[in-house]
Amino acid sequence: MKKWWQNEIVYQIYPRSFKDSNSDGYGDINGIISKLDYIKKLGVTMIWLTPVYKSPMADNGYDISDYYYINEEFGTMEDFDKLIDECNIRDIKIMMDMVLNHTSDEHPWFKEALKDPTSKYHDYYIFKASKEVPNNWRGQFGGSAWEKVDGRDEYYLHTYHIKQPDLNWENPKLREEIYKMIQWWIDKGIKAFRLDAINHIKKNPSYASIEPDGYDGLAAIKKMGRNQEGLGEFLTELNERVFKPNNCMTVAETAGLTNEMYKDFIGKDGYFSLVFDFRHTALELESGSEWYSRKEWELKDLNDTLMETQTNIQKYGWSGIYFENHDQPRSTSKYLGNYDENEDAIKMLGAYFFFMHGVPFIYQGQELGMKNFVRKSIEDFDDIDSINQYHRAINEGYSEEEALFIVNSRSRDNARVPFAWDDSSYVGFSDVNPWLMPLDDNSKHNAKSEEKENSILNFYRSMIDFRKNSDISEILIYGKLEPVETKTKDVFAYRRKLDSKSVLCIFNFNDKDVNVEINKGEILFSNYHMEQAQEGTLKPFQMNILDENN
Ligand code: GLC
Ligand code: CA
């Protein structure tokens, strides 16, 4: 059965870095409103806003101190209501980011819990009475996942930063508060939600120490606090209570899912509409999350991984397909190496992920071909995760130079610099110095200069339009994906197939002409201007969608 959200194309906005309307150097809601026509013209149908709730911004909004309030930095609830109206006028939907694993330590619940251990809010969080650190779990941002409560023999758990205490989902009262809060946003007209770190909400009840996996004698908390048995009960209830009755679209951030778990997560009666899978984002890492544990990888690994995940996921349901987000480096830099400025290559890469099976997510600036940038000192980083990974790398024995190289290539700051609107000072983002410095090469790709024929931006527009409005839209949206062997190095292909109809999508990651037998017939879509595939020859970085129905 078809679902409304299968037709969506989502554009992720990082509000702090999108557009500053009041000259304080921080992006805001009115800034987003002023750019809705740009978003509409791109052709996307929905925007996902990373958190805009009240927050001390220790983790850029993923530390919420009031779920019912808009952070002053971003504007007011009135501005937000205006955003809803302006989006409605343009037929653009809004997806909100729901952070339910933790709050800020400045949330009134947590403040109350600290002040009075007998208050009901104490049981909203995970406290352990103990004179010593309760176990050896290492938080996702490094160091012990436990923080001592001042003046008491008691610790609280934080999977992420010290300022992000974990909520206690075992407590039904807490769960009720969460459902009430989500319903409040639904009643405001929000029908789509991204669920942050949602597979962390269940912890292993033993709270036992485990085998250390680092220099620090600690072990990654994800081994005991992610995808744990019993998680499904919480997720079922969450879905039954709020999302399902309101026919919402939900996408869950679920790193580390095994193939066996897809059915429960996104199957017919799954907890969510979509999951974000992470396998392809960590190819260069030995361990999946420690940035310093780097290894060699090839484009073939990327394709193998994506084809495998795609085939496994579509057996049960749908995923959100993406190459970039606010936690990932720019895909141009990561996957194109020396060709990160080559426009044909950037377009080809964009199309490669975009035409896979799932709901496409495009991260702001991706449609311009923005790339990573290099920082010369650790002082230049803002992101807490980068700073932590830098120090961990040094503790693990890497030199300062190596550690800097490591964080530069993966830093979350890469994607978080201001969106480049033009090549004026501060890239048209603001008229004062922005919160995070855009380095000059940031402006090479900007929205203004790309208002021209054949630009990357216009390619994204045509690609989006093609998925929505062409003769083969149904195939591109609903068709199953079938990996296709090209027998040529760094040329990848997949087929999209619906009933008896199919199209072949083929991508040349080489900087030269290659001959691939299956590249033949009528070209339905391409990053080159051609109507007919030329006897098997693919130009450098060419991509084609070929008709297979004759
Ligand atoms: C998710 C977010 C990330 C944040 C973390 C903690 O992974 O995408 O930005 O730091 O959760 O909320
Ligand atoms: Ca502002």
Q: Give the containing element (helix H, strand E) for 234.
A: helix 231-238
Q: Which residues pair with 495 in a beta bridge?
A: 482, 504
State which of 103, 160, 221 you would mutate to test the pocket of ligand 1, scoring each by most atoms of that ligand within 8 A of its C-beta: 160
pLDDT tens, position by position, 334-343: 999 999 999 9
Contact 419, 426 (CB under 8 A): no
Mean pLDDT, the chain, as a whole number? 96
Question: 1-60+79-98+319-375+411-469: CATH homologous superfamily?
Answer: Glycosidases (3.20.20.80)
Distance (Å, whole) CA 53 – CA 58: 13
Same CATH fold assignment for domains 1-60+79-98+319-375+411-469 and 478-547? no
Phi-psi category of residue 345: left, alpha or beta, with phi > 0 → left and psi -120 to 50 → alpha: alpha
| DSSP label at residue 261 | G
Q: Which residues pair with 209 in a beta bridge?
A: none
pLDDT band at 325, cuts 50/70/90?
Answer: very high
Using alpha carbons, select from 38, 29, 17 the residue that is nearest to residue 94: 29
Distance (Å, whole) CA 404 – CA 98: 32
Distance (Å, whole) CA 387 – CA 180: 36
- Give yes or no for residue 392 having a pLDDT over 80: yes
Full DSSP string of 454-502: T-HHHHHHHHHHHHHHSTTHHHHHHPEEEEE---STTEEEEEEEETTEE
Residue 288 is predicted with a pLDDT of 67
Q: Which CATH fold would you assign to the domain 478-547?
A: Immunoglobulin-like (2.60.40)
Cα-Cα-Cα-Cα dihedral sign, residues 281, 287, 292, 298: negative
pLDDT tens, position by position, 224-257: 999 999 999 999 999 999 999 999 999 999 999 9
pLDDT band at 66, cuts 50/70/90?
Answer: very high
**For atom 12 of ligand 1, which residue has the closest CA?**
62
Residue 56 is predicted with a pLDDT of 98
pLDDT tens, position by position, 474-516: 999 999 999 999 999 999 999 999 999 999 999 999 999 999 9
Nearest bound ligand to the CA of residue 276 = 1
Q: What number does the ligand 1 atom closest to the CA of 326 have?
A: 9
Q: How far is CA 314 from the centre of its chain?
A: 20
* Distance of CA 48 from the midpoint of ligand 1 (Å): 14
Domain residues of the chain, as ranges?
A: 1-60+79-98+319-375+411-469, 478-547
Contact 163, 58 (CB under 8 A): yes
pLDDT band at 78, cuts 50/70/90?
Answer: very high
pTM for the full model?
0.97
pLDDT > 90: percent of the chain:
93
Q: Give the containing element (helix H, strand E) for 155.
A: strand 154-157
Residue 445 is predicted with a pLDDT of 86
- For residue 515, how many other CB atoms are within 10 A of its CB? 12
Residue 286 is predicted with a pLDDT of 87
Distance (Å, whole) CA 19 – CA 28: 6
* Distance of CA 408 from the midpoint of ligand 2 (Å): 27
Q: What number does the ligand 1 atom closest to the CA of 59 have?
A: 10
User: Which residues form ligand 1's pocket by a CB distance below 6 Å?
Assistant: 59, 62, 99, 160, 196-197, 253, 326-327
540 burial level (CB within 10 Å; 0-12, 13-18, 19+)? middle
- Give yes or no for residue 437 having a pLDDT over 80: no
532 burial level (CB within 10 Å; 0-12, 13-18, 19+)? exposed
State which of 49, 196, 199, 388 you would mutate to test the pocket of ligand 1, scoring each by most atoms of that ligand within 8 A of its C-beta: 196
Residue 360 is predicted with a pLDDT of 98
